[in-house]
Amino acid sequence: MRMFVIKRVVILFVLLLGYSAVNAADGDLITKQITIKLDKAGTLQDKIGETKKYKITNLKIVGEINGRDLRLIREMAGGTACIGGDAYASTNTKGKLNKLDLSEAIIVGDSENSYAYSVGRDGGVTSYYAKDKDEIPYKMFYNCLSLQEIVIPPCIISIGVSAFESCRYLRSLTIPSGVASIGDYAFRDCGLTSLTLPSSISSIGDNTFEDCSGLTSLFLPSSITSIGDNAFCRCSGLTSLTIPLGVTSIGSCAFWACSGLTSLTLPSSITSIGDYAFSGCSNLTSLTLSSSVTSIGDDAFMGCSDLKNVQYQINDDMDTYLSKDHPCIDINVDKIKYSLKGEAVTSITIPSQMTKVGEYVFQKCKSLTSIYVSWKTPLKLSSTVFCGMDKQKCTLYIPQSTYQDYWLADVWGDFENIVEYDTSGIDKVTDMFDTQEVSRYSVNGQRLSAPTKGLNIVKYSDGSVKKVAVQ
Protein backbone atom coordinates (compact mmCIF):
# COMPACT_ATOMS: atom_id res chain seq x y z
CA MET A 1 0.00 0.00 0.00
CA ARG A 2 2.80 2.37 0.94
CA MET A 3 4.57 1.57 -2.31
CA PHE A 4 1.37 2.35 -4.22
CA VAL A 5 1.06 5.73 -2.51
CA ILE A 6 4.68 6.52 -3.28
CA LYS A 7 4.14 5.69 -6.95
CA ARG A 8 1.10 7.95 -7.09
CA VAL A 9 3.07 10.78 -5.51
CA VAL A 10 5.90 10.30 -7.99
CA ILE A 11 3.52 10.29 -10.94
CA LEU A 12 1.79 13.40 -9.65
CA PHE A 13 5.16 15.08 -9.14
CA VAL A 14 6.20 14.28 -12.70
CA LEU A 15 2.93 15.62 -14.06
CA LEU A 16 3.33 18.82 -12.09
CA LEU A 17 6.85 19.19 -13.39
CA GLY A 18 5.58 18.79 -16.94
CA TYR A 19 2.84 21.32 -16.35
CA SER A 20 5.34 23.74 -14.85
CA ALA A 21 7.69 23.22 -17.77
CA VAL A 22 4.95 24.01 -20.27
CA ASN A 23 3.96 27.13 -18.36
CA ALA A 24 7.55 28.11 -18.03
CA ALA A 25 7.97 27.74 -21.78
CA ASP A 26 4.91 29.89 -22.42
CA GLY A 27 6.07 32.39 -19.85
CA ASP A 28 9.43 32.55 -21.58
CA LEU A 29 7.89 34.03 -24.73
CA ILE A 30 9.30 37.30 -26.05
CA THR A 31 6.26 39.57 -26.33
CA LYS A 32 7.88 42.92 -27.09
CA GLN A 33 8.56 43.81 -30.71
CA ILE A 34 11.92 42.56 -31.94
CA THR A 35 13.40 44.57 -34.81
CA ILE A 36 16.03 42.82 -36.91
CA LYS A 37 18.02 44.64 -39.57
CA LEU A 38 19.47 42.47 -42.30
CA ASP A 39 22.52 43.60 -44.24
CA LYS A 40 22.17 40.59 -46.53
CA ALA A 41 19.22 38.45 -47.61
CA GLY A 42 19.19 34.96 -46.16
CA THR A 43 20.74 35.84 -42.79
CA LEU A 44 17.59 36.00 -40.62
CA GLN A 45 18.32 32.56 -39.14
CA ASP A 46 21.80 33.71 -38.11
CA LYS A 47 20.34 36.75 -36.35
CA ILE A 48 17.63 34.90 -34.43
CA GLY A 49 19.13 31.50 -33.72
CA GLU A 50 17.45 28.17 -32.98
CA THR A 51 16.72 28.87 -29.32
CA LYS A 52 14.65 32.00 -29.94
CA LYS A 53 12.80 31.35 -33.19
CA TYR A 54 9.85 29.74 -31.45
CA LYS A 55 9.73 32.32 -28.64
CA ILE A 56 9.36 35.56 -30.62
CA THR A 57 5.75 36.76 -30.90
CA ASN A 58 6.26 40.23 -32.43
CA LEU A 59 8.82 40.71 -35.21
CA LYS A 60 9.80 43.56 -37.52
CA ILE A 61 12.27 42.94 -40.34
CA VAL A 62 14.25 45.69 -42.06
CA GLY A 63 16.13 44.92 -45.27
CA GLU A 64 16.06 42.31 -48.02
CA ILE A 65 14.66 38.82 -47.39
CA ASN A 66 14.84 35.75 -49.65
CA GLY A 67 13.45 32.21 -49.72
CA ARG A 68 15.60 31.08 -46.79
CA ASP A 69 14.25 33.90 -44.63
CA LEU A 70 10.69 33.27 -45.75
CA ARG A 71 10.93 29.61 -44.77
CA LEU A 72 12.04 30.60 -41.30
CA ILE A 73 9.19 33.13 -41.01
CA ARG A 74 6.72 30.39 -41.91
CA GLU A 75 8.11 28.15 -39.17
CA MET A 76 8.05 31.00 -36.63
CA ALA A 77 4.39 31.69 -37.51
CA GLY A 78 3.25 28.13 -36.85
CA GLY A 79 3.44 27.09 -40.48
CA THR A 80 5.59 24.48 -42.10
CA ALA A 81 8.00 24.13 -44.97
CA CYS A 82 5.65 21.54 -46.48
CA ILE A 83 2.43 23.02 -47.90
CA GLY A 84 0.93 19.99 -49.58
CA GLY A 85 0.96 16.24 -49.73
CA ASP A 86 0.65 13.56 -47.10
CA ALA A 87 3.47 14.95 -45.03
CA TYR A 88 1.65 18.23 -44.48
CA ALA A 89 -0.75 17.12 -41.76
CA SER A 90 1.89 16.39 -39.15
CA THR A 91 4.46 19.11 -39.77
CA ASN A 92 3.00 22.25 -38.16
CA THR A 93 5.54 23.92 -35.93
CA LYS A 94 5.22 25.29 -32.38
CA GLY A 95 6.01 28.81 -33.57
CA LYS A 96 4.30 31.66 -31.67
CA LEU A 97 4.84 34.60 -34.04
CA ASN A 98 1.53 36.48 -34.18
CA LYS A 99 2.63 39.97 -35.29
CA LEU A 100 4.80 40.48 -38.36
CA ASP A 101 5.84 43.88 -39.70
CA LEU A 102 7.41 43.84 -43.19
CA SER A 103 6.81 47.54 -43.87
CA GLU A 104 10.57 48.09 -44.30
CA ALA A 105 11.37 44.74 -45.86
CA ILE A 106 11.89 43.80 -49.53
CA ILE A 107 11.33 40.30 -50.92
CA VAL A 108 14.05 39.44 -53.45
CA GLY A 109 14.07 36.72 -56.06
CA ASP A 110 15.80 33.54 -55.00
CA SER A 111 16.36 30.51 -57.20
CA GLU A 112 18.48 28.59 -54.68
CA ASN A 113 16.53 28.65 -51.42
CA SER A 114 12.90 27.53 -51.48
CA TYR A 115 10.48 28.93 -48.93
CA ALA A 116 8.22 25.84 -49.14
CA TYR A 117 7.67 22.56 -50.96
CA SER A 118 4.87 20.12 -51.68
CA VAL A 119 4.82 16.35 -51.97
CA GLY A 120 2.84 14.73 -54.77
CA ARG A 121 0.98 11.44 -54.57
CA ASP A 122 3.77 9.85 -56.54
CA GLY A 123 6.30 11.02 -53.96
CA GLY A 124 7.69 13.75 -56.18
CA VAL A 125 8.69 17.00 -54.50
CA THR A 126 7.94 20.46 -55.90
CA SER A 127 9.85 23.40 -54.44
CA TYR A 128 8.65 27.01 -54.44
CA TYR A 129 10.92 30.04 -54.76
CA ALA A 130 10.45 33.78 -54.38
CA LYS A 131 10.52 35.22 -57.90
CA ASP A 132 9.93 38.93 -57.66
CA LYS A 133 10.17 41.69 -55.06
CA ASP A 134 6.75 42.90 -56.19
CA GLU A 135 4.84 39.76 -55.18
CA ILE A 136 3.70 37.82 -52.13
CA PRO A 137 4.34 34.42 -53.73
CA TYR A 138 2.17 31.32 -53.95
CA LYS A 139 1.07 30.06 -50.49
CA MET A 140 3.69 32.21 -48.79
CA PHE A 141 1.77 32.33 -45.47
CA TYR A 142 -0.43 29.30 -46.09
CA ASN A 143 -1.66 27.73 -42.83
CA CYS A 144 0.47 29.94 -40.59
CA LEU A 145 -1.76 29.28 -37.62
CA SER A 146 -0.20 31.65 -35.06
CA LEU A 147 -0.19 34.70 -37.36
CA GLN A 148 -2.70 37.37 -36.27
CA GLU A 149 -1.42 40.65 -37.69
CA ILE A 150 0.78 41.40 -40.67
CA VAL A 151 1.98 44.46 -42.56
CA ILE A 152 3.26 43.46 -45.99
CA PRO A 153 6.00 45.35 -47.88
CA PRO A 154 4.86 48.62 -49.53
CA CYS A 155 6.44 47.70 -52.87
CA ILE A 156 4.11 44.70 -53.30
CA ILE A 157 1.77 44.97 -56.30
CA SER A 158 0.55 41.37 -56.46
CA ILE A 159 -0.72 38.89 -53.86
CA GLY A 160 -0.30 35.36 -55.17
CA VAL A 161 -2.66 32.40 -55.23
CA SER A 162 -3.48 31.09 -51.73
CA ALA A 163 -0.95 33.52 -50.23
CA PHE A 164 -2.81 33.71 -46.87
CA GLU A 165 -5.10 30.71 -47.22
CA SER A 166 -6.00 28.94 -43.95
CA CYS A 167 -4.49 31.64 -41.74
CA ARG A 168 -7.44 31.02 -39.44
CA TYR A 169 -6.37 33.44 -36.72
CA LEU A 170 -5.32 36.32 -38.99
CA ARG A 171 -7.34 39.33 -37.80
CA SER A 172 -5.55 42.35 -39.23
CA LEU A 173 -3.88 42.87 -42.59
CA THR A 174 -2.53 46.03 -44.18
CA ILE A 175 -2.53 45.90 -47.99
CA PRO A 176 -0.34 48.51 -49.74
CA SER A 177 -2.02 51.04 -52.02
CA GLY A 178 -0.15 49.74 -55.07
CA VAL A 179 -1.51 46.18 -55.02
CA ALA A 180 -3.23 45.64 -58.38
CA SER A 181 -4.13 41.95 -58.28
CA ILE A 182 -5.11 39.35 -55.70
CA GLY A 183 -4.84 35.71 -56.69
CA ASP A 184 -7.50 33.02 -56.36
CA TYR A 185 -7.91 31.56 -52.85
CA ALA A 186 -5.66 34.33 -51.48
CA PHE A 187 -7.60 34.73 -48.21
CA ARG A 188 -9.67 31.56 -48.21
CA ASP A 189 -10.51 30.29 -44.70
CA CYS A 190 -8.88 33.29 -43.01
CA GLY A 191 -9.89 34.77 -39.67
CA LEU A 192 -10.13 38.33 -41.02
CA THR A 193 -12.87 40.44 -39.43
CA SER A 194 -12.46 43.54 -41.57
CA LEU A 195 -10.49 44.52 -44.65
CA THR A 196 -10.05 47.56 -46.86
CA LEU A 197 -8.97 46.90 -50.42
CA PRO A 198 -6.97 49.63 -52.18
CA SER A 199 -8.32 51.47 -55.24
CA SER A 200 -5.60 49.89 -57.41
CA ILE A 201 -7.39 46.50 -57.40
CA SER A 202 -9.55 45.82 -60.45
CA SER A 203 -10.97 42.38 -59.74
CA ILE A 204 -11.64 39.83 -57.01
CA GLY A 205 -10.62 36.35 -58.12
CA ASP A 206 -12.25 32.98 -57.63
CA ASN A 207 -12.58 31.78 -54.01
CA THR A 208 -10.61 34.80 -52.76
CA PHE A 209 -12.53 35.19 -49.46
CA GLU A 210 -14.29 31.84 -49.36
CA ASP A 211 -15.06 30.60 -45.82
CA CYS A 212 -14.05 33.89 -44.15
CA SER A 213 -16.98 33.51 -41.79
CA GLY A 214 -15.64 36.13 -39.35
CA LEU A 215 -15.50 38.88 -41.99
CA THR A 216 -18.07 41.49 -40.95
CA SER A 217 -16.79 44.60 -42.70
CA LEU A 218 -15.39 44.89 -46.20
CA PHE A 219 -14.75 47.94 -48.36
CA LEU A 220 -14.73 47.36 -52.12
CA PRO A 221 -13.14 50.19 -54.12
CA SER A 222 -14.79 51.68 -57.20
CA SER A 223 -11.96 50.28 -59.36
CA ILE A 224 -13.30 46.71 -59.12
CA THR A 225 -15.05 45.48 -62.29
CA SER A 226 -15.66 41.80 -61.56
CA ILE A 227 -16.25 39.42 -58.66
CA GLY A 228 -15.16 35.84 -59.34
CA ASP A 229 -16.76 32.47 -58.66
CA ASN A 230 -17.10 31.61 -54.94
CA ALA A 231 -15.40 34.92 -54.08
CA PHE A 232 -17.34 35.40 -50.81
CA CYS A 233 -18.84 31.93 -50.49
CA ARG A 234 -19.94 31.18 -46.89
CA CYS A 235 -18.91 34.61 -45.56
CA SER A 236 -21.76 34.35 -43.09
CA GLY A 237 -20.56 37.32 -40.99
CA LEU A 238 -21.27 39.88 -43.73
CA THR A 239 -24.51 41.71 -42.93
CA SER A 240 -24.35 44.34 -45.64
CA LEU A 241 -22.20 45.00 -48.65
CA THR A 242 -21.97 47.84 -51.15
CA ILE A 243 -20.97 46.60 -54.57
CA PRO A 244 -19.41 49.60 -56.35
CA LEU A 245 -20.55 51.07 -59.62
CA GLY A 246 -18.27 49.60 -62.28
CA VAL A 247 -18.71 45.93 -61.40
CA THR A 248 -20.12 44.25 -64.50
CA SER A 249 -20.30 40.61 -63.46
CA ILE A 250 -20.83 38.50 -60.37
CA GLY A 251 -19.55 34.95 -60.64
CA SER A 252 -21.26 31.69 -59.81
CA CYS A 253 -21.73 31.04 -56.07
CA ALA A 254 -20.03 34.40 -55.39
CA PHE A 255 -22.13 35.02 -52.25
CA TRP A 256 -23.44 31.51 -51.72
CA ALA A 257 -24.56 30.86 -48.11
CA CYS A 258 -23.84 34.44 -46.96
CA SER A 259 -26.61 33.98 -44.44
CA GLY A 260 -25.87 37.26 -42.64
CA LEU A 261 -26.75 39.50 -45.61
CA THR A 262 -30.05 41.33 -45.05
CA SER A 263 -30.06 43.85 -47.89
CA LEU A 264 -28.30 44.21 -51.20
CA THR A 265 -28.17 46.84 -53.93
CA LEU A 266 -26.63 45.88 -57.24
CA PRO A 267 -25.34 48.85 -59.28
CA SER A 268 -26.50 49.71 -62.78
CA SER A 269 -23.17 48.54 -64.25
CA ILE A 270 -23.89 44.86 -63.57
CA THR A 271 -24.98 42.90 -66.63
CA SER A 272 -24.72 39.30 -65.46
CA ILE A 273 -25.24 37.32 -62.27
CA GLY A 274 -23.89 33.77 -62.19
CA ASP A 275 -25.56 30.51 -61.16
CA TYR A 276 -26.23 30.22 -57.42
CA ALA A 277 -24.65 33.66 -56.91
CA PHE A 278 -26.79 34.49 -53.84
CA SER A 279 -28.18 31.05 -53.15
CA GLY A 280 -28.63 30.34 -49.46
CA CYS A 281 -28.71 34.01 -48.39
CA SER A 282 -31.55 33.08 -46.08
CA ASN A 283 -31.78 36.43 -44.26
CA LEU A 284 -31.82 38.59 -47.38
CA THR A 285 -35.06 40.59 -47.19
CA SER A 286 -34.46 43.38 -49.68
CA LEU A 287 -32.97 43.35 -53.15
CA THR A 288 -32.53 46.10 -55.72
CA LEU A 289 -31.63 45.22 -59.31
CA SER A 290 -30.75 47.49 -62.21
CA SER A 291 -32.29 47.18 -65.66
CA SER A 292 -28.80 46.66 -67.08
CA VAL A 293 -28.93 43.07 -65.81
CA THR A 294 -29.62 40.94 -68.87
CA SER A 295 -28.58 37.53 -67.58
CA ILE A 296 -29.30 35.91 -64.21
CA GLY A 297 -28.09 32.35 -63.78
CA ASP A 298 -30.00 29.31 -62.61
CA ASP A 299 -30.97 29.30 -58.93
CA ALA A 300 -29.17 32.62 -58.39
CA PHE A 301 -31.43 33.42 -55.41
CA MET A 302 -32.51 29.91 -54.44
CA GLY A 303 -33.21 29.56 -50.73
CA CYS A 304 -33.68 33.29 -50.13
CA SER A 305 -36.75 32.45 -48.10
CA ASP A 306 -37.06 35.90 -46.45
CA LEU A 307 -36.80 37.92 -49.67
CA LYS A 308 -39.95 40.03 -49.76
CA ASN A 309 -39.00 43.38 -51.24
CA VAL A 310 -37.54 43.26 -54.76
CA GLN A 311 -37.21 46.41 -56.84
CA TYR A 312 -35.93 46.81 -60.35
CA GLN A 313 -34.22 50.09 -61.24
CA ILE A 314 -34.17 51.73 -64.68
CA ASN A 315 -31.78 54.60 -64.11
CA ASP A 316 -28.51 55.46 -62.39
CA ASP A 317 -29.82 57.72 -59.66
CA MET A 318 -30.91 54.74 -57.59
CA ASP A 319 -34.44 55.97 -56.87
CA THR A 320 -36.55 55.66 -60.01
CA TYR A 321 -38.09 52.28 -60.74
CA LEU A 322 -39.78 50.74 -63.70
CA SER A 323 -42.93 50.77 -61.68
CA LYS A 324 -43.31 52.45 -58.32
CA ASP A 325 -46.12 50.09 -57.42
CA HIS A 326 -44.51 46.71 -57.86
CA PRO A 327 -41.14 45.08 -58.41
CA CYS A 328 -39.97 43.84 -61.77
CA ILE A 329 -38.01 40.68 -61.31
CA ASP A 330 -36.03 38.22 -63.36
CA ILE A 331 -34.50 35.99 -60.75
CA ASN A 332 -34.45 32.38 -59.71
CA VAL A 333 -35.94 32.08 -56.25
CA ASP A 334 -37.23 29.02 -54.46
CA LYS A 335 -40.83 29.74 -53.45
CA ILE A 336 -40.37 33.51 -53.63
CA LYS A 337 -43.19 35.69 -52.47
CA TYR A 338 -43.52 38.59 -54.88
CA SER A 339 -44.48 41.28 -52.46
CA LEU A 340 -43.82 44.89 -51.69
CA LYS A 341 -44.34 46.48 -48.26
CA GLY A 342 -46.00 43.31 -47.07
CA GLU A 343 -48.53 43.18 -49.92
CA ALA A 344 -48.52 40.31 -52.38
CA VAL A 345 -47.79 41.29 -55.96
CA THR A 346 -50.43 40.09 -58.38
CA SER A 347 -49.09 41.73 -61.53
CA ILE A 348 -45.60 41.92 -62.94
CA THR A 349 -43.98 43.42 -66.05
CA ILE A 350 -40.92 41.88 -67.64
CA PRO A 351 -38.91 44.51 -69.54
CA SER A 352 -37.75 43.95 -73.08
CA GLN A 353 -34.12 44.40 -71.96
CA MET A 354 -34.23 40.92 -70.54
CA THR A 355 -32.67 38.42 -72.92
CA LYS A 356 -32.69 35.39 -70.65
CA VAL A 357 -35.12 34.05 -68.08
CA GLY A 358 -33.62 31.25 -66.01
CA GLU A 359 -35.28 28.09 -64.76
CA TYR A 360 -37.90 28.23 -61.97
CA VAL A 361 -38.00 32.06 -62.00
CA PHE A 362 -41.73 32.19 -61.24
CA GLN A 363 -42.01 28.83 -59.51
CA LYS A 364 -45.17 28.58 -57.36
CA CYS A 365 -45.99 32.30 -57.71
CA LYS A 366 -49.67 31.52 -57.33
CA SER A 367 -50.64 35.11 -56.48
CA LEU A 368 -49.70 36.36 -59.95
CA THR A 369 -52.82 37.12 -62.00
CA SER A 370 -51.23 39.08 -64.84
CA ILE A 371 -47.87 39.06 -66.61
CA TYR A 372 -46.92 41.73 -69.16
CA VAL A 373 -44.23 41.16 -71.77
CA SER A 374 -43.10 43.34 -74.66
CA TRP A 375 -41.05 40.96 -76.82
CA LYS A 376 -42.29 40.93 -80.41
CA THR A 377 -40.87 37.44 -80.73
CA PRO A 378 -41.55 35.05 -77.83
CA LEU A 379 -38.44 34.47 -75.75
CA LYS A 380 -37.46 30.79 -75.53
CA LEU A 381 -38.10 29.53 -72.00
CA SER A 382 -37.43 26.43 -69.97
CA SER A 383 -40.53 24.38 -69.23
CA THR A 384 -39.94 25.03 -65.51
CA VAL A 385 -40.15 28.86 -65.61
CA PHE A 386 -43.83 28.95 -64.56
CA CYS A 387 -43.77 25.65 -62.68
CA GLY A 388 -46.51 25.47 -60.05
CA MET A 389 -48.33 28.61 -61.25
CA ASP A 390 -52.06 28.71 -61.98
CA LYS A 391 -52.01 29.41 -65.72
CA GLN A 392 -55.80 29.41 -65.82
CA LYS A 393 -56.11 32.38 -63.48
CA CYS A 394 -53.08 34.29 -64.68
CA THR A 395 -53.50 36.38 -67.86
CA LEU A 396 -50.57 36.80 -70.22
CA TYR A 397 -50.44 40.24 -71.92
CA ILE A 398 -48.46 40.37 -75.15
CA PRO A 399 -47.74 42.97 -77.88
CA GLN A 400 -50.34 43.48 -80.62
CA SER A 401 -50.23 41.17 -83.64
CA THR A 402 -48.22 38.51 -81.79
CA TYR A 403 -51.03 36.27 -80.54
CA GLN A 404 -50.42 33.41 -82.93
CA ASP A 405 -46.67 33.39 -82.23
CA TYR A 406 -47.19 33.22 -78.47
CA TRP A 407 -50.07 30.72 -78.70
CA LEU A 408 -47.90 28.35 -80.74
CA ALA A 409 -44.74 28.88 -78.65
CA ASP A 410 -43.67 26.35 -76.04
CA VAL A 411 -44.42 27.39 -72.42
CA TRP A 412 -46.13 30.65 -73.47
CA GLY A 413 -48.89 28.71 -75.17
CA ASP A 414 -49.77 27.00 -71.88
CA PHE A 415 -51.55 30.15 -70.67
CA GLU A 416 -55.30 29.87 -71.21
CA ASN A 417 -55.80 33.63 -71.26
CA ILE A 418 -53.56 35.48 -73.71
CA VAL A 419 -54.42 39.13 -74.43
CA GLU A 420 -52.80 41.56 -76.84
CA TYR A 421 -52.14 45.14 -75.72
CA ASP A 422 -50.64 48.28 -77.24
CA THR A 423 -47.08 48.85 -76.01
CA SER A 424 -46.41 51.97 -78.14
CA GLY A 425 -45.79 55.30 -76.51
CA ILE A 426 -44.60 53.86 -73.25
CA ASP A 427 -40.89 54.08 -73.87
CA LYS A 428 -40.63 57.08 -71.64
CA VAL A 429 -41.11 55.89 -68.08
CA THR A 430 -40.69 58.50 -65.35
CA ASP A 431 -41.21 58.86 -61.65
CA MET A 432 -42.03 62.53 -61.22
CA PHE A 433 -43.66 63.76 -58.06
CA ASP A 434 -44.09 67.41 -59.06
CA THR A 435 -46.39 66.64 -62.00
CA GLN A 436 -50.12 66.03 -62.17
CA GLU A 437 -52.08 63.30 -63.84
CA VAL A 438 -53.81 64.51 -67.02
CA SER A 439 -55.53 61.38 -68.27
CA ARG A 440 -55.67 57.62 -67.72
CA TYR A 441 -56.27 54.81 -70.24
CA SER A 442 -56.58 51.04 -70.33
CA VAL A 443 -54.12 48.97 -72.35
CA ASN A 444 -56.75 48.89 -75.11
CA GLY A 445 -56.82 52.69 -75.33
CA GLN A 446 -60.12 53.25 -73.47
CA ARG A 447 -60.31 56.38 -71.29
CA LEU A 448 -60.57 55.60 -67.57
CA SER A 449 -62.20 57.83 -65.00
CA ALA A 450 -60.40 56.24 -62.06
CA PRO A 451 -57.62 53.75 -61.36
CA THR A 452 -58.72 50.35 -62.65
CA LYS A 453 -57.30 46.96 -61.69
CA GLY A 454 -54.62 45.84 -64.11
CA LEU A 455 -52.20 47.87 -66.21
CA ASN A 456 -53.13 51.56 -66.60
CA ILE A 457 -51.51 54.05 -68.99
CA VAL A 458 -51.19 57.42 -67.27
CA LYS A 459 -50.29 60.72 -68.99
CA TYR A 460 -48.83 63.56 -66.87
CA SER A 461 -48.71 67.34 -67.18
CA ASP A 462 -45.03 67.27 -68.19
CA GLY A 463 -45.85 65.16 -71.24
CA SER A 464 -44.51 61.93 -69.84
CA VAL A 465 -46.33 58.61 -69.98
CA LYS A 466 -46.15 55.93 -67.31
CA LYS A 467 -47.33 52.37 -66.93
CA VAL A 468 -49.00 51.84 -63.57
CA ALA A 469 -50.04 48.45 -62.23
CA VAL A 470 -53.18 48.75 -60.13
CA GLN A 471 -53.89 45.86 -57.76
Q: Does an H or E element contain 404, and which?
A: helix 403-408
Kindly state whether residues 315 and 227 are assigned to the same domain: yes
Q: How many domains does the chain have?
A: 3
Which among 160, 130, 155 is positioned nearest to 69, based on CA atoms?
Answer: 130
Compute the average pLDDT of residues 278-297. 76
Least confident interval from 11-25, 201-215, 366-380, 454-468: 11-25
Kindly state whether residues 217 and 330 are assigned to the same domain: yes
Q: DSSP state, 413? A: G
Measured at the CA of 175, the angle between CA 172 and CA 177, to 5 degrees, comes to 150
The better pLDDT of the pair 309, 8 is held by: 309
CATH number at residue 304: 3.80.10.10
Going across the sheet that includes 465-470, the strands are: 437-442, 454-460, 465-470
Confidence of residue 22 (pLDDT cuts 50, 70, 90): very low
Kindly state whether residues 45 and 92 are assigned to the same domain: yes
Q: Is residue 342's pLDDT more than 50?
A: no
- Predicted confidence at residue 99, as pLDDT, reads 96
The better pLDDT of the pair 300, 226 is held by: 226
Least confident interval from 2-6, 19-23, 142-146, 266-270: 19-23
Cβ atoms of residues 321 and 314 within 8 Å: yes
Least confident interval from 15-24, 142-151, 431-440: 15-24
CA distances from 170 to 70, 174, 208, 229, 288 (A): 18, 11, 15, 23, 33
Which tens digit of pLDDT belongs to each residue from 70-84? Answer: 999 999 999 988 887
Cβ atoms of residues 62 and 86 within 8 Å: no
| Owning domain of residue 466 | 423-471
Residue 100 lies in a domain: yes
Which among 155, 205, 157 is positioned nearest to 185, based on CA atoms?
Answer: 205
Residue 89 lies in a domain: yes
Cβ atoms of residues 83 and 118 within 8 Å: yes
Cβ atoms of residues 240 and 218 within 8 Å: no
Strands (E), 325-434: 339-340, 343-344, 347-350, 370-373, 395-399, 417-421
Grouping H, G, I as helix, E, B as strand and the rest as coil, residue 254 is coil
Cβ atoms of residues 322 and 328 within 8 Å: yes
Residue 241 lies in a domain: yes
DSSP secondary structure, 192-246, as one string = -SEEE--TT--EE-TTTTTT-TT--EEE--TT--EE-TTTTTT-TT--EEEPPTT
DSSP secondary structure, 272-306, as one string = EE-TTTTTT-TT--EEEEETT--EE-TTTTTT-TT
Residue 33 lies in a domain: yes
Which among 293, 296, 291, 347 is positioned nearest to 320, based on CA atoms?
Answer: 291
Q: How far apart are CA 339 and CA 348, in angstroms?
A: 11
Give me the residues paired with residue 396 across strands: 371, 418
Kindly state whether residues 151 and 259 are assigned to the same domain: no
Residue 464 lies in a domain: yes
Residue 293 lies in a domain: yes
- Predicted confidence at residue 424, as pLDDT, reads 64
Residue 46 lies in a domain: yes
Q: Is residue 471's pLDDT more than 80?
A: no
Residue 442 lies in a domain: yes
Q: Which of 137, 156, 175 is the last residue of a domain?
A: 156
Compute the average pLDDT of residues 153-162. 93
Single-letter code of the amino acid located at 336: I
- Predicted confidence at residue 228, as pLDDT, reads 93
pTM exceeds 0.75 for this model: no
* Percentage with pLDDT > 70 across the chain: 74
Average pLDDT of the chain is 78
> Cα 350 from chain centroid?
27
